Structure 1
Amino acid sequence: MALKPEPTAPFHSVQYALRVLETVSRHGGGVSDVQIARETGLPVAHLAPLLLMLRREGYVEQVAVGAYAIGDSLALLGSGLTRREALEVKLQEALTELRDSVGAAIYVSRYVDGEVRITAVADGPRTPAVNEWVDFRSAAHASAVGKCLLAQLDVNGRKDHLSRHKAARLTSRTITDERVLLARLAAQPATVPFLDLQEYAVGTVCAAVPLTAGSTAGCLALSLPVEQAHRLREAADTLNRRAAPVALSLAL
């Protein structure tokens, strides 16, 4: 099923981060930020926040002023049979940190074989996950996760999904008119989080942002009880800003 052309920003930073990691990996004894900028073609001003994020995530370490080498996280990913386990641990650590930072349950979802799939969750006693009272695969029209994934498909892909999963009314706020839903998906700016204001379940609000990692549509999402709805937009903005490490762990 075809995806739309890749949106401009904000996740180009993941592609840049991969280029930085490739460059650092080629220099076993360390490499300067000036040399990294030269080999990747990235301006030093753009490189600085990327290096900061990569250091925070353990992918690179600073070995001298302005010089960097591969970090423990990246070294672990090259250790053969443990690669998948290492990636899963790294992803869960990133989601848990994001959960605690935002104060909300966090989800990773992918669109696989024509279906919405939640592939990772970080929740807790103070940040409970959404009660899946209707299968998420059948509720893409009503959830922030589903709408975010559908928006990454082309028009035919969206119509195909809705032909297999009819837009049922789950709450009084659910959009059930296919034309209205398709129009809203088409009009959504790529950099603006998708929101679910009690469309899937009464008592819950959600937000989702796209994760650009490979050719599969993906998204990063959060949920809050409706009593904390006043926090949703700020939390969604934080989610958007902090998505790069999650996307990177999926892309490696």
Structure 2
Amino acid sequence: MIGSVQRALRLLEAVSDHPDGAPAKQLAREAGLPLPTAYHLLRTLTHEGYLRREQGVFVLGAAAGRLGRGGAGQDRREVVTETMERWRDTLGVAVYFAVYREGEVELTALAESIEHPAVEEWADLRETAHAHAIGQCLLSQLDTPARRDHLDRHPVEPLTPYTVRDASALLGRLATVERMQTVVERQEYALGTVCAAIPVTIGLTAAVLAISLPFDQEYRLRPAIECMRGEVGEVVRSLMFSISI
């Protein structure tokens, strides 16, 4: 444990108990600190913006307020996680949430279990967007120049006998994907698996929710996706905060 951090946190807690502020002596007493130590930490916290000194008392500063807003964002991320875990348990699938950020595929959340394991990432998802539903769905939301740029940086390479063979064939396939259309991929990334991804509109960010199943359970894929589609609107606002996970 780092003692100075613990002492500073106790002081912040003491200040938060006094919306109208409190003097250093009172805060030192409530935090159980020697007055010189409390003065030193109060000056540091004030300098960093976590506290303000007003007419001889200390109150919470703007930086502490940002911490509170971060907590609200964490609450929203928890809503997303809980929703994904509920889908996992009720639909019997592994559930993924991914975004396309700074030119790369980024898996930001995953709900899996022993009973419903995710597809083993045996090849880097960022390098193999052409071969899995998550990547194909994200690429389908980009314009043609952005797709070509991605494929120039991450060339198409067959991973299984079912993988698209070259960039031209992939671009042709993506051009036929309609807006908000589900993308289904069968054994292109990993043999014995089938995956589906639905695009999620989150501002200007391309994002997807996806699920995977063993290939012999493909019949469960569409009903699960349709069930998720019916609820996506309720969690989109929370998904916006998940982008920053």
Q: Same fold (TM over 0.5)?
A: yes
1:225 paired residue number: 214
Q: Which TM-score applies when normalising by structure 1?
A: 0.66
Q: Does 1:87 align with 2:72?
A: no
User: Structure 1 CA distance, aligned partners of 2:180 and 2:205?
Assistant: 18
Is 1:146 the counterpart of 2:97 in the alignment? no
- Where 1:175 maps in the other structure, the secondary structure is coil
1:38 match: none
Structure with bigger gyration radius? 2
Deviation (angstroms), 1:85: 1.5
Does structure 1 residue 246 correspond to structure 2 residue 235? yes
What residue number does 1:70 align with?
none
Alpha-carbon distance, 1:236 to partner: 2.3
Matches of 1:235 and 1:192 in 2, distance apart? 15
- The equivalent position to 1:207 in structure 2, one of 188, 196, 201, is 196
Query: SS where residue 136 of structure 1 aligns?
Result: coil
In structure 2, the residue matched to 1:172 is: 161
Of 120, 127, 144, the residue aligned with 1:131 is 120
1:186 aligns with 2:175: yes
Whole-angstrom CA distance in 1 between matches of 2:218 and 2:70? 43
Structure 2: distance between partners of 1:184 and 1:154:
14
Structure 1: unaligned runs, 5 residues or longer:
1-78
How many angstroms apart in 2 are the aligned matches of 1:236 and 1:169? 27
Question: Contact (CA 8 Å) 1:91, 1:250: kept in 2 or not?
Answer: yes
Q: Is the 8 A contact 1:95 1:246 kept in 2?
A: no
Contact 2:133 2:195 in 1 (8 A): yes
1:178 Cα deviation (Å)? 1.4
Query: How many correspondences in the alignment?
Result: 175
Match of 1:68 in 2: none
Query: How far apart are 1:132 and its partner, in Å?
Result: 0.1
1:85 partner SS: helix
Secondary structure of the residue aligned to 2:181 is coil
Aligned amino acid, residue 219 of structure 1: V
Contact 1:221 1:239 in 2 (8 A): no
Higher relative contact order (CA 8 A, sep 6+): 1
Separation in structure 1 between the aligned mates of residue 70 and residue 138 of structure 2, nearest angstrom: 31
Distance in 1 (CA, whole Å) between partners of 2:235 and 2:121 is 23
In the TM superposition, what is the alpha-carbon distance from 1:222 to its structure 2 partner? 0.3
Please tell me whether the aligned partners of residues 157 and 166 of structure 2 are also in contact (alpha carbons under 8 angstroms).
no
* Distance in 1 of aligned mates of 2:211 and 2:235: 13
Per-residue CA shift, 1:97-151, capped at 9, x if unaligned? 1212221000000001110010001111111011000000011111000000001
Whether the 8 Å contact between 1:105 and 1:121 is mirrored in structure 2 is: yes
Question: In structure 2, the residue corresponding to 1:138 is in which secondary structure?
Answer: coil
Instruction: Give the C-alpha shift of residue 228 in structure 1.
Output: 1.0
Q: 1:157 to 1:126 in 2, by over 3 A?
A: same
Aligned-pair CA distance for 1:169: 0.5
CA shift for structure 1 position 81: 4.1
Once the 2 structures are TM-superposed, how far is the Cα of residue 244 of structure 1 from its aligned partner?
A: 1.8
- Does residue 187 of structure 2 align to residue 198 of structure 1? yes
Distance 2:100 2:70 in 1: 27
Matches of residues 43-58 of structure 1 in structure 2 within 5 Å? Answer: none
Structure 2 unaligned runs (5+)? 1-67
CA distance in 2, matches of 1:81, 1:143: 33
**What letter matches 1:226 in structure 2?**
F
Q: 1:153-186: CA deviations, max 9, x gaps?
A: 1000000000011111101000022122111111
Pairwise CA RMSD: 1.6
Identify the residue that residue 156 of structure 1 maps to in structure 2: 145
Identity percentage of aligned residues:
43
